[in-house]
Amino acid sequence: MAKDPRLIQILELKDTISQLNETIKMLNQSLKASQEREAVMQEQIDYLTKKLFGRSSEKRSVQIEGQMNLFDEAENEADPSAPEPDEMIDVKAHSRKAKAKNKDKYSNLPVREEVLELPESDRVCPQCGGPLKAVGKRLVREEITYIPAKMEIVRYYTTTYKCEPCCEGRTGFDKGVMIRTMVPPPLMPHSPASPSAVAWTMYQKYANAMPLYRQEKDWLAIHGVTITRATLANWIIYCAEHHLKPLYEYFHRELLKRRFLMADETRIQVLKEPERDPETVSFMWLFRTGEDEGPTIIIYKYTQTRAKYNAADFLQGFEGYLETDGYQGYNDLPGVKRCCCWAHYSRRIVIQGK
């Protein structure tokens, strides 16, 4: 007996649906595996990116999404439970006063006493009406007061001296002996810049990371002085070239006289450089003296490449020991006996031990 065509069609559709379900299941498994591989690859990319462009140091901070930035530092660092100086703190089973270290911290600050007195009208005894007399004072608290810097114009005048006994009554070209005081040379010719003003500008920019356009606003808003960012930039460039560069060269000569040095280099990106793309990688070299005789000297040197001749040119004339990492650019430098870094060496042992 022949089967009903409709029944056959229904059975075929069931088989098709079953096959499609199996296919969908396999595709879901394949998609899940692809997502897992993609997540692993993304983690590797993030790690390599941080290692290539991130901070190079033996001590690294964990970088996570939503980490603290410049503008929420106060909120993230705040701790309501942190004790104020000289506040009572709990130590297990008892309470005691914190160690008095604030006197040492503030010992270099000048002290101004603010004595709180009664007004003249209130210095009357409420019982007998007689005058009140101060008999003592008591320290209540201490405050650290911030006094903003102030700007002033310094005008230099010379004084002329004349010998009255031998010059009295002389006229014409021969007026006798006249002496004028010497004028200290200006920091910059035809400029009102002073050493303190330029030093503050450099400190704000390179130590506090304050751009010149913000310094321009501060000069006007806080001190009422209009000094453009272009003028501030001219101060920095001129003083670096004419005053700091001779010091740099002196310390470079002194550094080469030492017997033990350390060196390292790191990548740096320069946005505006003639005939170079902003994405081009440059290098900042650091050379410093070791912990031997004499004061510590640390010098930076900027180069466009990591080529070996950069280190050779800087260390020309040096004869001694040089401690570096594993970069081969320090090999076979004239007069240099290369030393290995124990920190890098121990790290390699740990990695290989794993």
Per-position pLDDT tens, the chain of length 354:
556 778 888 888 888 888 888 899 889 988 988 988 898 898 888 888 887 876 654 444 444 444 444 445 455 555 666 655 555 555 556 666 666 566 677 888 889 888 888 888 888 888 888 888 888 888 888 888 888 888 899 999 999 888 876 666 666 556 667 788 998 899 999 999 999 999 999 999 999 999 999 999 999 998 889 999 999 999 999 999 999 999 999 999 999 999 999 999 999 988 888 888 888 899 999 999 988 778 999 999 999 999 999 999 999 999 999 999 888 899 999 999 998 877 766 665 655 555
Regarding whether 181 and 218 lie in a shared domain, the answer is yes
Do residues 298 and 286 touch, judged by C-beta distance below 8 A? yes
In a domain, 228, yes or no: yes
**CB crowding 113-130: b at 16 or more within 10 Å, else e:** eeeeeeeeeeeeeeeeee
Do residues 287 and 263 touch, judged by C-beta distance below 8 A? yes
Q: How buried is residue 227: exposed, middle or buried, by Cβ count under 10 Å (0-12/13-18/19+)?
A: buried
Amino acid at 18: S
Query: Whole-prediction pTM value?
Result: 0.60
Regarding whether 201 and 274 lie in a shared domain, the answer is no
Pairing of strands 260-269, 320-324: parallel
Amino acid at 334: P
Q: Report the distance separating Cα 284 and Cα 269, nearest Å.
A: 10
Domain boundary pick from 245, 268, 283? 245
Domain boundary pick from 245, 266, 281? 245
Do residues 320 and 258 touch, judged by C-beta distance below 8 A? yes
Q: Report the distance separating Cα 169 and Cα 185, nearest Å.
A: 35
pLDDT value of position 59: 47
Q: What is the DSSP letter of 128?
A: T
Regarding whether 265 and 232 lie in a shared domain, the answer is no
The parent domain of residue 286 ranges over 258-353
pLDDT value of position 188: 94
Q: What angle do CA 5, 10, 15 make, to 5 degrees?
A: 125
pLDDT value of position 227: 93
Structure tokens at 6: 């409709």
Q: Report the distance separating Cα 240 and Cα 105, nearest Å.
A: 34
Regarding whether 323 and 271 lie in a shared domain, the answer is yes
Regarding whether 241 and 263 lie in a shared domain, the answer is no
Do residues 101 and 115 touch, judged by C-beta distance below 8 A? no
Q: Cα separations (Å) of 306 from 267, 311, 320, 344?
A: 9, 9, 22, 20
In a domain, 212, yes or no: yes
Q: Report the distance separating Cα 144 and Cα 213, nearest Å.
A: 30
Structure tokens at 232: 């501030």
Q: What is the DSSP letter of 121?
A: G
Q: Could you give the number of structural domains in the chain? A: 2
pLDDT value of position 56: 54
In a domain, 178, yes or no: yes
